[in-house]
Amino acid sequence: MHVEGYIEVTGGRVWYQIFNKNSVATPVIILHGGPGSSSYSLEGLQALEAERPVILYDQLGCGRSDRPKDTSLWQLERFVEELAQIRDALNLEEIHILGHSWGTTLAAAYCLTKPKGVKSVIFSSPCLSAPLWEQDQIENLKTLPKEIQETIKHCEETGMTDSEEFKAAIQEFNKRFVCRVEKDPDPEWLQKGAGYRNPEIYNIMWGPSEFSVKGNLRSFDCTARLNEINCPTLFTCGRYDEATPESTEYFSRLVPNGNLHVYENSAHMAYFEEREEFLQVAGDFLRAIDSN
């Protein structure tokens, strides 16, 4: 049984759903990737409701939330404020946070505002330094066939990131570093997910592609302040992740209570590629925190 609804935040209304609302255990709130994607592909994480309330929401501008036209809203600080407003509206005095990809950027920035009641954070496939992420993707690109590398470079330089050849080259990158499930998931499922995205937000905040950060997040780097996050943290990534095991391990060493787990058969979507293990690792971590 779950409830869903809308919450007024700065700029419009966001859509949320809560599973196992009446449980007395500490809830976990899920922060999806993007910026400008949605909670849609993360809905499998509702299985964590076996032990606690699970809150999923679509950040403003994407998914089932309002899509205001005011582009000045697409700033990290406003998304941080949005998370605080959601906590207030739902009376979430104590929470665990599970952020994925850009959701980890948001989780870290939120934690650095020193909010009360954050019991733990799971940084899944973390992006905590835009310059380091960009550097890692340049290295990842070098492992692809020469012609794919050249197509991506050429399309980026000439502003042809909307072209079919660029999309085909990105497909090859994605097969290695984003999702390694050989048999594509149900195309209808993928199509629906694509409809929930808002590419404009991604473009304004990140840029035209993964490989060059040209948006307003381009200088984001919170590594120098990670030592201020003193609740228990779990850093996870896939062995073949865009969020590389090396960078993920580096981040985990910068927090006082950092733990690390690498999913050996995954790229960037371990919650989908190795769903059972992902749920077990996350569930065990949250349970251990609650029992202390």
Active site residues: 101, 241, 268
Sheet with 118-124: strands ordered across: 2-9, 12-19, 54-57, 28-31, 95-100, 118-124, 233-238, 258-263
Contact 124, 101 (CB under 8 A): yes
What is the helix (H) or strand (E) element at residue 15, kind and residue range?
strand 12-19
Write the DSSP string, 146-159.
Answer: HHHHHHHHHHHHTT
d(CA 47, CA 20): 10
User: For residue 64, which phi and psi values (nearest 5 degrees)?
Assistant: -95, 10
As a whole number of angstroms, the distance between CA 240 and CA 259 comes to 19
